[in-house]
Amino acid sequence: MSTTSSGRVPLQPRFLLPLGAAALALALSACSSTGGSVASTPAPPPGKRIKGVPVTRQPTRAAPRDAAVQMAPGLEGVIGANQGQLTRMFGEPRLDVWEGDARKLQFTGTACVLDVFLYPSTSSKEPHATYVETRRSSDGQNVDRAACVAALRGK
């Protein structure tokens, strides 16, 4: 009988099929059930506590909160504006994306890309701009927010 360079005896091809079938049968037998039932403890009557089990409180719903508003010089008129006001200011948005009750409008120009995020408030169901992000159109690098807003207003 020949051996490999590591000193092991190689498996003969005629043994591989039965060996594989046996391994598959063993693996599948672990998934089968015995048909027996699992004993369970009956549930306690409603309103009665089981000794030693801590009380679980029901989750409470938090009241809706207003989104944090980004205030920075040069963003006056943008922050707090609704979709109609932003469209009059910058033209039709390139993107208008809804995620739940939040909205993102994207305005573009040769100088930069302006993403405006609008959220509803507790006082108004209509979303208003609360945050902006800006980047250069050419390479996506960050750019000054106020400068981008000014460039897009002047186009």
Would residue 131 count as lying in a domain?
yes
Would residue 103 count as lying in a domain?
yes
Q: Tell me, what's the pLDDT at 51?
A: 74
Which of 88, 76, 125 lies closest to 103 in space, CA to CA? 125
Confidence of residue 58 (pLDDT cuts 50, 70, 90): confident
117 vs 125, more confident: 117
Token digits for 20?
A: 């594989």
34 vs 98, more confident: 98
Number of domains the chain contains = 1
Would residue 59 count as lying in a domain?
no
Mean pLDDT is lowest, of 99-103, 125-129, 136-140, 151-155, for 151-155
Would residue 25 count as lying in a domain?
no
Sheet containing strand 112-119, strands side by side? 95-99, 102-108, 112-119, 128-136
Q: Tens of pLDDT along 1-48?
A: 555 566 666 666 666 667 677 777 777 666 665 555 666 667 667 666
Q: Tell me, what's the pLDDT at 123?
A: 83
Would residue 63 count as lying in a domain?
no
Would residue 92 count as lying in a domain?
yes
Q: Tens of pLDDT along 65-91?
A: 666 666 778 889 999 999 999 999 999
Domain extent at residue 149:
83-153
User: How are beta strands 102-108 and 95-99 bridged, if at all?
Assistant: antiparallel
Which CATH number belongs to the domain containing residue 145 in this structure?
Answer: 3.30.1450
pLDDT at 92 over 80: yes
Would residue 96 count as lying in a domain?
yes
Q: Tell me, what's the pLDDT at 32?
A: 60
User: How are beta strands 102-108 and 112-119 bridged, if at all?
Assistant: antiparallel
Average pLDDT over all residues of the chain: 80
Residue 76 and residue 70: Cα distance in Å, rounded? Answer: 10
Would residue 122 count as lying in a domain?
yes
Q: Is 66 helix (H, G, I), strand (E, B) or coil?
A: coil
> Angle 110-134-91 (CA atoms, 0-180°, nearest 5)?
55
Alpha helices, DSSP H, located in 1-155: 13-29, 83-90, 145-153
